[in-house]
Structure 1
C-alpha cells in the first residue's frame, strides 16, 4: 500500500500537467480550448514545455478552424449567420487578449491576430437579423413566441445598445410573455373578529417581491389588475381558510408521588457520638398544564381564466400550541428535581390574545404555501 501511495504522489503532478497544458484538448481536436489552457499554464509557468508545444501547434489550427467556420456561416443562408460569425471572430479576439496577457505565450506566438475591425459591422448586421426574427416571433402573439422574441431583443440590445426601438420592444415582449395571475384572498369570518391581514400581507409581499423562480410570471391583486387595466388575465390564484380553530383549551392535571433515597434526615447518637442519619424522603407533586391549541387549513386553487378549469388544488395545515405549566407539592422538597421545583414556583398565566394565536398557526402554512406556489409556477 505504501508503494502504491508513493507512486500516486509521483504521478499526480504529471497527470495535472497533462490536463492543464491543453494537450488532451488538442488531441481531441478542440484547438480553441487547447490554446486557452496552454496560455493559462504559461501564465503560471512561462517555460512549461508541453504548454509551449501545445500553443505552438494549436494556435494556427484554432485560428484556421475558427476563420473557416466564420466564413462558412457568412456564405450560408442560415437565419443567424452574422451572429454565428460574430461569435467566431470574438473567439479569435479572446485568444488575442489571453496571449497578450501571458509573457510566456507571447514568446511562442509573437503576433496574435485579432478581428476588432470587423466587429462593428458584424454587430450591426447581427442586431438587424435578430431584430427581424424577434418581430416575426412577437407578431405570432403567443406566450412562447413572445419569450423567444424577448431573448432575441435582449441580444439586439447587447449587439447595438439603443438599436431602433429595442428597449420598448423588450418591454412589450416581456409583457406578452408574462403569465398574468390575479390573487384572490378571501376574508376571514369569525366570532373573534380576527383579521387575516398579517397573513395576506406576507403572501402578497412574497408574490410581489420575493418570488424568483420564473421571470415570466407576475401576480396582481384585483385592485392592481383593475388599476393597470390588464387586457386579459391568464389565471386566478384563490386562497381561503377552509376551517380554523383558535383557543381550543385543555387543562391536564397530574398527581404523582416522588421519593429519593440516601437523604440526610437527622442525626443519631451512637456510642456517645453524633452521626448523620440517612433515609428516604417523599413528596406529592400536583401539576396543571393548560394547552391552548390553534389550527387551521388554507386552500389554494388555481383557475384558468378562460375555461375556469381548476389547474391545481392544494391544502395546507398549520397548528400552534401555547401552554402554561404550574404546580404545588406537599412533603419534602428534596424529593423533587430542580425542574419540578421550578414548576411549583410558576403560577397560571393567561394565553395570548386570539389574534396573536391566529398569526402563529398561519406561519407554518405560509412556508408550505410559498413553496407550492414556487413549484407550480416554475413550469411556466
Structure 2
C-alpha cells in the first residue's frame, strides 16, 4: 500500500509539472510575455520543478527576449510619431523594461539561455522630465482659463507630475494654488425669522457642525464668515416657527370582566345524583367565577415642532439655486395603567402597562433642543445632497 501511494504521489507531481510547463507555453504563444515570465520565474524560484528546470529556463529566455523586443519596437514607433501625447506611454514602457530586468536578476546566470541586461536610467530620467514638462504646461494653460473646472483638471495634471517627478520646479505651490482656486467655498448661516423667542443655545447647537462631516474634495464649508475668503455659495437656514404643544394628560377607564376557573365539583344530574363514567367514577367539572376589574389607562403627551427653510444662493449673481423646507418634530409619550378590582380579569397587555408609571414632562426648552438635534441632522442630509 505504501508503494502504491508513493507511485501515486510521483505521478501526480509529474502531471502538475507538465501542466505548469504547458500553461507557461500557452502564455508565451498568446503573446502574454510578462505572464509567461512571471510563471517561469515563480517555478524556478521554488526549485520544485527540477525535472523541468531546462524547460522553464528556455521559456523564460524566449519570453524575456520577445518582451524586450516588443517594448523597444513600440518605443521606436511612438518616438517616430513625434507626438508629446505619447511621452507617458514611452516613460511607462521604459519603467517596465527596468522592472522586468529586476525580476529576473536574482536568478542569473541561468545555463541554457542568454539574457541581455541594459541600463535604462538615462532614458527613464529623460522621459520623466518630458512627462513633467508636458503635463506642467497643460496645467498652466488650464489655470489661465480661470474656471473652477479648469483648476480642478489642472490639479490632476500637477498631481501626476508630482508623482512622477517629486519637487519638480514649483510643483507643490502650484498644486496648492490649483486646489484653492478649484474649490467651492460655502458660508452657512442661521436666521430667526419666526419672531419668537428661542433658547440662547439653540443657534449654536444648530450650527455646531463638524466640517469633516460636510467638506469634500472640492467643497469647503464655513460656519463663521471669514473676511479673507471669497465665498462662492451661501446656505441660509431661516427658522420660520417654533412651537411647543401644551402638556396633555388624559385617562381611559374600562371595566373588564372575565370568567375564570375557581376549583371544581362533582357533576350532578337534575335529581341531584352524581353522574358517573363507564367505570363508575364520579365525573368532575370546573367551577367558573366571573371576576371584574376597573382598568384605568393614563396617557401623557407633549410635542415640539420646528419649521425652517434652507436656501442655496450663488453669490456671484445672487441667484437662488434651491429652496427646501425642513421640519423637525419631537414627541414625548408615556402610557401606564392603574387598576381597582380583581387583576385576574386582565390580559398580558394590560399587565405590561401596569409595570410602567408616570414620568415628569420634559421642559419646553429641552423639547426645543431635542427638535433642534433632529433639524440639524436634516440640515446635514440636505447639504450633502446639494454638493
| TM-score of the superposed pair, with normalisation by structure 1 | 0.74
- Give 3-state SS (helix, strand or coil) of 2:121's partner: coil
In structure 2, C-alpha distance between the alignment counterparts of 1:127 and 1:330, rounded to whole Å: 89
Of 30-39 and 88-97, more deviation after overlay is shown by: 30-39
- Which secondary structure state, in structure 2, belongs to the residue aligned with residue 186 of structure 1? strand
Give the Cα–Cα distance (whole angstroms) in 2 for the partners of residues 107 and 297 of structure 1.
83
Q: How far is the alpha carbon of 1:162 from its aligned partner?
A: 1.7
Matches of 2:68 and 2:160 in 1, distance apart?
26
CA–CA distance in 2 between the matches of 1:22 and 1:360?
68
Residue 144 of structure 1 corresponds to 149
1:318 aligns with 2:320: no
Pairing partner for 1:298 from 300, 305, 308: 308
Task: Report what 1:154 is aligned to.
Answer: 159
- 1:11 paired residue number: none
> Which of the residues 199, 205, 213 maps onto 1:210?
213
Cα separation, 1, equivalents of 2:182 and 2:93: 31
Query: Equivalent residue for 2:383?
Result: 373
- Answer yes or no: is 1:117 the counterpart of 2:115: no
Distance in 2 of aligned mates of 1:28 and 1:332: 90
- Label 1:291 to 1:93 Cα distance change in 2 as closer, same or farther (>3 A): farther
**CA 107–94 in structure 1, closer or farther in 2 if over 3 Å, else same:** farther
Q: What secondary structure does 1:327 align onto?
A: strand
Q: Unpaired runs of 5+ in structure 2?
A: 1-15, 268-273, 275-284
> Between Structure 1 and Structure 2, how many residues are aligned?
347
Contact 1:178 1:216 (8 Å CA) reproduced: yes
C-alpha contact 1:147 1:177 (8 A) present in aligned 2: yes
- What's the RMSD between the two structures over aligned residues? 4.0
Mapping for residues 170-181 of structure 1, pairs under 5 Å: 170-181=175-186
The structure having more radius of gyration, on CA atoms, is: 2
Match of 1:87 among 83, 88, 92: 92
Q: Return closer, same or farther for 1:293/1:169 CA change in 2, 3 Å cut-off.
A: same
- 1:128-172 deviation per Cα after TM superposition (whole angstroms, max 9, x unaligned): 222222222212221121112212221222222222211111111
Identify which of 191, 196, 199 aligns with 1:193: 199
- Counterpart-to-counterpart distance in 2, 1:336 and 1:27: 85
Alpha-carbon deviations, 1:320-372, whole Å to 9, x = none? 21112233212101222455345346443222222332233344444443333
Matches of 1:308 and 1:98, distance apart in 2: 61
Helix, strand or coil at the partner of 2:145 = coil
Matched, 1:355 2:365: yes
What secondary structure is seen at the aligned counterpart in 2 of 1:196? helix
Decide whether the 8 Å contact of 1:21 with 1:54 is kept in 2.
Answer: no
Change (3 A) 1:372 1:276: same
Tell me: CA distance 1:186–1:111, structure 2 relative to 1, closer, same or farther (3 Å). Answer: farther
Q: Tell me what 1:281 maps to.
A: 291
Aligned in 2, Cα 1:87/1:326: closer, same or farther, shift over 3 Å?
A: same
> Are the counterparts in 2 of residues 21 and 41 from structure 1 also a CA contact under 8 Å?
no
Say yes or no: does 1:221 pair with 2:223: yes
Verify: 1:334 aligned to 2:344, yes or no.
yes
